[in-house]
Amino acid sequence: MASKKIRQVTPASELLKKLGVHLDPELLVLALTHRSFAHEAGGIPTNERLEFLGDSVLGLVAAEALYLEYPERPEGDLAKMRAATVSQRPLAKIARRLELGQYILLGKGETRTGGRDKDSILSDTVEALIGAVYLTHGLEVAQKFVHSLIDDILHEAADLGAGLDWKTSLQEICARLGFEAPVYENAGDGPDHARTFTSTVIVDGKAYGTGTGSAKKHAEQEAAENAYRTLKALEDAKLKKNA
């Protein structure tokens, strides 16, 4: 038990080495302070304001990179590519690559319910760290820092096709197949601080896909992805039959 506790409070220098930037210790602690920990500690400041700032910096850097690198892509594609890069799931992937979960300051309840591996908490902490880097070093260094985090995902997004926006892609394939527009049935479970949503996609009265997530929109995207893959197989089979 003791060794696990030591692992969770790994020295800040180890994290900063992974990030490749210097941050004031107090600012780093703030960037890692989840509201569940702050509440249990008597209402100390949380990382939410830094998260707000980091979200804006991240969006700007990603938008500029896409604008400059893909001059032939229309605005709609660029918006989808940005969303596929800076949304919760890819940011959580970045956090796991950094093993960020072990450094986050969480309350006991959130820790018990697996908060160190929740997409929402991991992605919010990445944004808070971006905000901290911006406050410390300004836009130029923050820009380099963001690129070090997202460049691989940014380039992957350019080749995602339907995966740029599963809900839109599902709507389009439904139209091609002559089906009604998809309808999402959503349900939430668990306490407010650890809520899990389940979404089911209904097309022409039939369930074609389900998904789960810590937010309704993420559950819907996963459900849409599963439904799209099912309908794409149906569409391909029809095209092959008619060939």
Is 124 annotated as a binding-site member? yes
Q: Which of 14, 40, 48, 55 is catalytic?
A: 55
Is 127 annotated as a binding-site member? yes
Phi, psi torsion values for 20, nearest 5 degrees: 80, 20
Classify residue 152 by burial, with Cβ atoms within 10 Å: 0-12, 13-18, 19+: middle
Classify residue 234 by burial, with Cβ atoms within 10 Å: 0-12, 13-18, 19+: middle
Residues in the chain: 243
Q: Which of 24, 64, 69, 127 is catalytic?
A: 127
Phi, psi torsion values for 71, nearest 5 degrees: -65, -20
Is 24 a known active-site residue?
A: no
Per-residue tokens: 179: 């089906």
Is 48 a known active-site residue?
A: no
Phi, psi torsion values for 22, nearest 5 degrees: -100, 135
Residues noted as catalytic: 55, 127
Known binding positions: 51, 124, 127
- From the annotation, which residues make up the binding site for Mg(2+)? 51, 124, 127
